[in-house]
Chains A and B, each alone.
Chain A
Amino acid sequence: GQNIDQPTEMTATEGAIVQINCTYQTSGFNGLFWYQQHAGEAPTFLSYNVLDGLEEKGRFSSFLSRSKGYSYLLLKELQMKDSASYLCAVRDSNYQLIWGAGTKLIIKP
C-alpha cells in the first residue's frame, strides 16, 4: 500500500530552527508537496520538490531524496504564527496526491 509518515507533533522555541521529516512509500513519484494548515483553516501550499536537493523560499526550505523516499521541511527563525500543522503529500504514478496525517508544530515563546 501507499504510505506517508511524519511525526504527529513537534515543539520548538520562537526564533529557533525546526526540521519536520516525511518518509514515503508510493507507487510511483511525480512530486512532493508541503502544505501548512492552521487550526480550523484550509491547507495552503508551501513548497514543491520533484528533483533531489533543497528548495529555499524565505524562512522555509524543503529537501528531497527520491532514492531514500525522504523529505524534510526546514523552518528558520520561528515565529508564533508558524504554529500549525504541516502536511506532506506525494503525487503517485496516477498523479493522485497521497497525504500524510500532518505534523502539529507548537511554538513556545
Chain B
Amino acid sequence: DTAVSQTPKYLVTQMGNDKSIKCEQNLGHDTMYWYKQDSKKFLKIMFSYNNKELIINETVPNRFSPKSPDKAHLNLHINSLELGDSAVYFCASSQGFREAYNEQFFGPGTRLTVL
C-alpha cells in the first residue's frame, strides 16, 4: 500500500492552462505539505495544512491554490501556468506539526513541464 500517493506522475501542458495535482495519504497523519523542487534541487515549502487548516502559506503566486477536503487529501490547483512553474512538485505528510520527531513522508512527485 502506498503511504503518500500523487497523481499524475508526469504533467506536460501549455502555458496559460489550468491544472490540478492530487495527493492522498493513508498514514492517518494530521499534517500535509506541498513542496516545489526546481532544477537546482532546492526543496521549497509552498503550503502546509494541519487537520484541514492552512498553517503555512509561503510567498507563492496566488495562481497556486491548495485545497484540503479532508485531512487525508491535499490537492494543488494551478491557474494560468507559466514556464517558470516547470518543476517537480512533492506532496508530503507528517504525524503532526509540532511533534518532536516529525518525520515527513513524501509522495513520488509530479514532474510538471510547461511548454
Interface residues of A (CB under 8 A from B): 30-31, 33, 37, 41-45, 48, 50, 85, 87, 89, 91, 95-97, 99, 101-102
With CB as the reference atom, state the residue of chain B lying closest to A46.
B103
Interface residues of B (CB under 8 A from A): 40-45, 48, 56, 90, 97-98, 100-109
A93 to chain B, nearest CB (A): 11
| Contact call A99/B44, Cβ cutoff below 8 A | yes
B72 to chain A, nearest CB (A): 18
A63 to chain B, nearest CB (A): 17
Question: Known: A42-B90, A48-B101. Contact between A101 and B45, CB under 8 A?
Answer: no
| Contact call B56/A42, Cβ cutoff below 8 A | no
CA distance A95 to B100 in the complex (A): 10
CB neighbours (8 Å) of B43 from chain A are 43, 87, 89, 99
With CB as the reference atom, state the residue of chain B lying closest to A96.
B56
CB neighbours (8 Å) of B103 from chain A are 33, 45, 48
A37 to chain B, nearest CB (A): 8
CB neighbours (8 Å) of A33 from chain B are 103
CA distance A31 to B104 in the complex (A): 13
